[in-house]
Amino acid sequence: MEAGISSPYEAPEAAELSVNTGAADLDLCIFQILDLLLQHGVAG
């Protein structure tokens, strides 16, 4: 089967980052994402 927008969601087995948007405030969520991007040299 070809992957695409109509494919069912498959949760990652070992996610590098999990952002709990229901419990954490927006600033913390943004910080977590930006921190991971900086660690990987994607942002900066």
The structure tokens listed for 8 are: 């069912």
Confidence (pTM): 0.70
What pLDDT score does 33 carry?
97
Long-range contacts of 22-31 (CB under 8 A, 24+ apart): none
User: What is the tens place of the pLDDT at every residue in 2-37?
Assistant: 667 888 989 999 999 999 999 999 999 999 999 999
d(CA 41, CA 38) in angstroms, rounded, equals 5
What pLDDT score does 7 carry?
87
The amino acid occupying position 40 is: H
User: What is the tens place of the pLDDT at every residue in 30-39?
Assistant: 999 999 999 9
- 17 CA to centre of own chain: 5
